[in-house]
Amino acid sequence: MTELLQKVRVIDPVSEIDELFDVLIADGYIKEVASHIADIHPNTQIRDCQGLVLGPGLVDLYSHSGEPGFEERETLLSFLHAATAGGFTRVSILPDTSPAIDNPALVTQLQEKRRGEMKEIREKKKINLSFPVSPATPASRLPLLNIWGAITLDVAGNQMTELADLASAGVVGFSDGKPFENLALVRRVLEYLQPLGKPVAFWPSDRQLTANGVMREGPDALRFGLPPIPASAETTAIAAMLELVAAIGTPVHIMRVSTSRSVELIASAKVAGLPITASTTWMHLLLDTKAVKSYHTSLHLDPPLGNPRDVAALRAGVRAGVIDAIAIDHTPYSYEEKVQAFAEAPPGAIGLELALPLLWQYLVETEEFTALELWRALSTSPAKCLGQEVSAILPHQPAELTLFDPQQIWKVERKSLYTLSQNTPWLGQELKGHVVQTWC
């Protein structure tokens, strides 16, 4: 099928472009990009895209799939459809499933399941290609599935997996998605991973300092009567990780950065030439400790939401490139699991379908971020952290794209979401901004 998108706002972090263009797409490739395209085939589907945004497909660095083991929270298919509905053309799942993704067989099984779903879509033609995408008309293609291979067996932090075998099976990189308490093991992992050339991601967090805390230490924690977590629970662990990277030299990605001091430590390490990248999550850019006043259990996150100073530093860090990427860290839980007291509920929230609209509304429309800065942190930069590239929006390049309507109003409710879980503080609210289509 040949499609002509007329007068669409093209945001391309690769080419540093934010301009209005006509874009011609055919057979999975961009055929032409110009201020006006008049010479087209009679069967071309023409779409008026005034007011819409076209950018590279979004890339999620890490999120959680319920499958295998917790399918009541999320199946692989619902996860992939939720990602597509949120504008993501590549997603990366963490290995903390049940069983954990700590062996090549499970990596192969999950990839084969995705391929099987794609085959079923094509053969049964069960997908309606009409605009706009909605739960009644899901996307015609599923995003690329990246899989993080576990560093340790059963992500327990004790015994290393067969890292080379997992690398051969096609994992995108290695992570447990959980804090490590044994720094000697971390050092050994960095030594073993050096020749494999795969990304490795760590979540630095000192669990002894975290203890039973559920909220960032500060005046709001005292006001709300919730057990605090000191910023040092993160910063001391990051400092130790940076020392190991300096000693071993293996590149490392630092996950879930949430404090202002962490941003300072990472900035200094980058100036010193350490081979590190870093990410924060979308909710840590949007909300601070004051939001916890509602005691909504979907605001119980780990690491916790930061103080206002933390949020300001994280936003500045993303804009400056100190924090390379924005991760979604989509963490689905069932209604029953989340209906508990704030401190007792498991930490985490969904986000694949919500992140782009909310980040755009609160960062781009307020002019705190440029559209290019936000799109870069959600697409090309996370891809680089994974050792991947994203193509520019130019002729002859693959059409891996996301079309977004920043003005469309929609309500966050069960019938408007693909994800099987509803653990989000925005449930029942109207949002502005919705993905129209992806190409991948």
408's enclosing H/E stretch is strand 401-411
pLDDT at site 42: 86
Quick check: 158 pLDDT over 50? yes
Query: Per-residue pLDDT tens for 245-290?
Result: 999 999 999 999 999 999 999 999 999 999 999 999 999 999 999 9
**With 50 as the cut, is the pLDDT of residue 138 above it?**
no
Model-level pTM? Answer: 0.95
Could you tell me how many helices (H) and strands (E) the chain has, helices first?
14, 17
Half-sphere exposure (CA, 13 Å, Cβ side) for 242? Answer: 21
Residue of 96, 102, 329, 405 marked active site: 329
Of 115-119, 135-139, 360-364, 404-408, minimum mean pLDDT range:
135-139
- Compute the mean pLDDT over every residue in the chain, rounded to the nearest whole number: 95
Single-letter amino acid code for the residue at 66:
G
Q: Cβ(256)–Cβ(280) under 8 Å? A: yes
Mean pLDDT to the nearest integer, 214-231: 98
DSSP 186: H
DSSP 196-208: G---BEE----HH
| Structure confidence at residue 358 (pLDDT) | 98
Active site residue 329: yes
- Contact call for residues 97 and 109 (beta carbons, < 8 A): no
Residues 6+ apart with CB under 8 A from 221: 215, 227, 228, 289
Give yes or no for a contact between 306 and 261, defined as CB atoms under 8 angstroms apart: no
Which of 114-123, 163-172, 185-194, 278-287 is predicted with the least confidence, judged by mean pLDDT? 114-123
The arithmetic mean of pLDDT across residues 108-118, rounded, is 93
d(CA 263, CA 323): 7
Confidence of residue 140 (pLDDT cuts 50, 70, 90): low
Q: Is residue 87 within 8 Å of residue 202, measured between CB atoms?
A: no
Phi, psi of 192 (to 5 degrees): -65, -35
Token pair for 34: 């110009």
CB-facing half-sphere around the CA of 346: CA atoms within 13 A: 13
Q: What is the pLDDT of residue 133?
A: 43
Question: How far, in Å, CA of 30 to CA of 52, rounded?
Answer: 18
Least confident of 130-139, 248-257, 336-345, 377-386: 130-139
| Rounded-to-integer distance, Cα 435 and Cα 430, Å | 15
Rounded to 10 degrees, the C-alpha dihedral 16/19/23/28 comes to 30
Question: What element of type H or E holds 192?
Answer: helix 183-193
User: Do 376 and 16 meet the contact criterion of CB atoms below 8 Å apart?
Assistant: no
404 has pLDDT over 60: yes
Q: What is the mean pLDDT of residues 379-386?
A: 98
Query: Are β-strands 53-56 and 45-48 bridged in parallel, bridged antiparallel, or unpaired?
Result: unpaired
SS3 state at 102: coil
Q: How far is the C-alpha of 266 from the C-alpha of 258, rounded, in Å?
A: 12
pLDDT at 139 over 70: no
DSSP conformation letters of 119-147: HHHHHHT----PSSPBTTB--SSPPEEEE
**C-beta neighbour count of 341 within 10 angstroms:** 10
Pairing mode, if any, of strands 53-56 and 401-411?
A: antiparallel
- Burial class, 1, CB count within 10 angstroms (exposed 0-12 / middle 13-18 / buried 19+): exposed
Rounded to the nearest 10 degrees, the angle between the axes of helix 232-248 and helix 183-193 is 40
Say how far apart CA 183 and CA 230 lie, in whole Å: 20
pLDDT digits (tens, 9 = 90+) for 116-127: 988 887 776 544
Q: Quick one: pLDDT at residue 121?
A: 77
pLDDT level of residue 39 (50, 70, 90 thresholds): confident
Q: Which helix (H) or strand (E) holds 5?
A: strand 2-12
* Distance (Å, whole) CA 136 – CA 128: 8
CA–CA dist 109, 147 (Å, integer): 11
**Coil, strand, or helix at residue 423?**
coil
Give the model's confidence band at 128: pLDDT under 50 very low, under 70 low, under 90 confident, else very high: very low
Q: Do residues 59 and 382 make contact, with C-beta atoms less than 8 angstroms apart?
A: yes
Q: Could you say which DSSP state residue 375 is in?
A: H
Band the pLDDT of 136: cuts 50, 70, 90: very low
pLDDT-above-70 percentage for the chain: 96
The rounded distance, in Å, linking the Cα atoms of 390 and 234 is 31
